[in-house]
Amino acid sequence: MDKYDIRIAELRLRNFRNVRNGSFSMPSFLHSSPAPDILGIYGQNGSGKSAAIEALGLMQRIMTGEELPGKSYDYINIDSDSAVLSLSFSIEDDDGNRISLVRYEFEIRNDKGSAAIASESLYRKEEGKREKLLISFSRADRKLSPASALKELKASGKDTALDLMVAMRMAEKEDVSFIFGADAAFPILSGIMPEVKILRSYADTSFIVLAADDSGLSGGILRISYQQMKDGKPVKGRILLDISKPAVISSEEEEFLGNLIDEMNKVLSAIVPRLRIGIYKVGDELTAEGHRGVAVEIVSYKNDTPIPLRSESVGIIKIISLLSCLLAVYNSRSVCLVIDEFDASIFEFLLGELISVFESGAKGQLIFTSHNLRILEMVGSDSIVFSTANPDNRYIRLKVKPGNLRDEYLRSLLLGGTEEDIYEKTDPYEIGKALRNAWKRDG
């Protein structure tokens, strides 16, 4: 496994949010081919689109060793005491041939009004062989299995058993993954299971999940997500800038932001003709920590006239905030970018063109939710999953003739006929009546 690419293959949800059962596969996994992996999730409001994004975000967080977020109790379906997430990864060589399939599964359970990681397991499946359990941990009895893995772990050093027991207790106390987050266990596990180290590195550097409020502009704060190479290794992160006024940043941050903008400008004018952005230096300032810094404004240029970026349209700011990550997913096979509400504020024709370009040429994986139907005219049916009205079977693909996905979706909304209802019908007359009856003001 010296050289490999990591790619998401399949997500499964059970009792997560409003999804009692649901799963979907990426197009390349569906057909066992190295085709571009673009997947849009469409559906009625409240039908599980954002739940899928939240599940991927929670998976990414847990696999980087972070603790469960404070709202985790809300992840569990109201009719259940626990939620289970399972995410499969294809480990491939440079030619796109699968070396193995690795699956990570964990359960969060209601624990006296809050949520805790109840159990987690890691599996491996090699081509032509059955899936094999590599390691499983149960919090209730602090038990590791299978016996063969436990034996191999204990053989790796005389103090290993004690280290693992300490790691179990610390994982419980800190609400982190025992497999990926326990400092004492991680080096031991990764020593005999390279998949542990591989997946954590992937989650740290190349698995990027953006909720609806993680991109664009909110409260005057610009969020620029990025994935860059540093010292030959990928790094990811997010820059937060208050663009309602000049922002004070360090000279190192100014240099990094300048390099990021230079990279984005190489493609920005192709997306929005004649547009480029830059840094306008207002003057020297002290940072909040008392260090020397500089006050800057991000500006846009059209016809060489600088305009504060805050004066640009919300759609242009959204594109700028995503552009570094879009560059990464277009050019790197191991990058997976997940965006909730990708279509928000972006002109529908431009959005369709962008998705068409990515489906035909992107090396990495792009997963997004959207309400804009223009995209359905630009991609094949394998690249779209529809959420349904059935919480026990939340995600389906429509079987349609080539180039007819949008028409088939609209026909299904109006007439039904799919294996699951994809829309709980509303009555315009009843909506109008309710609007009238709700207006009970005097005068």
Q: Tell me how crowded residue 289 is: count the other CB atoms within 10 A of its CB.
A: 7
Q: Which phi and psi angles does 71 have, rounded to 5°?
A: -90, 15
Residue 426's contacts (CB-CB under 8 Å, 6 or more residues apart) are none
Q: Which comes out higher in pLDDT, residue 218 or 89?
A: 89
The ranges of the chain annotated as CATH 3.40.50.300 are: 1-206+333-443
Region 313-341 average pLDDT: 93
pLDDT at residue 1 above 50?
Answer: no
For 76, other C-beta atoms within 10 Å of its C-beta total 20
> Measured between alpha carbons, how far is 252 from 151 in angstroms, rounded to an integer?
49
Q: What is the pLDDT of residues 56-84, one digit of tens each?
A: 999 999 999 999 987 788 999 999 999 99
**Which of the following CATH numbers is that of domain 1-206+333-443: 3.30.2320.80, 3.40.50.300, 1.20.210.10, 3.30.2130.30?**
3.40.50.300
Percentage of the chain modeled with pLDDT above 70: 96
Q: How many CA atoms lie within 13 A of 303 on its CB side?
A: 0
**8 Å CB contact between 240 and 222:** yes
Predicted TM-score (pTM) of the model is 0.91
Q: Lowest mean pLDDT of 31-45, 184-198, 343-357, name the range.
A: 31-45
Tokens of 313: 């349209």
Percent of the chain predicted with pLDDT > 90: 47
Q: Which two tokens stand for residue 142?
A: 């602090």
Over residues 7-31, mean pLDDT: 94
Q: In the structure encoding, which two tokens stand for residue 339, read together?
A: 């965006």
Strand partners, 443: none
Q: What is the pLDDT of residue 419?
A: 74
Q: What is the C-alpha separation between 221 and 347, in angstroms, rounded?
A: 22
Average pLDDT, the chain: 88
> Which of 211, 186, 212, 188 has its CA nearest to residue 199?
186
Is 190 a residue whose pLDDT tops 50?
yes
Q: How far apart are CA 115 and CA 69, in angstroms?
A: 9
Residues 6 or more apart whose CB falls under 8 angstroms from that of 342 comprise 40, 351, 368, 369, 370
